[in-house]
Amino acid sequence: MLRYILIGFAFYFLYRFIFELVIPIYRTTKQVKKQFDSIKQQHAQNNPSQRTTEKSTSHKPSVNKDDYIEFEDV
């Protein structure tokens, strides 16, 4: 009889743990991720020039050896 009571308490605490902690955390993280995606999308729509500058900064210009001038000390 005591065994069934302990199993009942275990299921009760497991139920409370899942429905009061695990599921709310899952829902909150899902909602926060959706909000971050929304903000990111709005930021991309409001600043299209930033995407072009990121592309241009990532490309490094090639350097020619003819571009350098040697200087002599006077």
**pTM for the structure as a whole:** 0.51
Q: Which residues contact 51 (CB under 8 A, 6 or more apart)?
A: 44
Q: What pLDDT, on a 0 to 100 scale, did the predictor assign at position 37? A: 95
Q: What is the dihedral of CA 29, 35, 39, 44, to 10 degrees?
A: 80
* C-alpha 23: how far from chain center: 21
Please name the residue that has the structure tokens 């350097």. 63
Q: What is the pLDDT of residues 6-28, one digit of tens each?
A: 999 999 999 999 999 999 999 99
Q: Where are the domains of the chain?
A: 1-38
44 contacts: CB under 8 Å, gap ≥ 6:
51
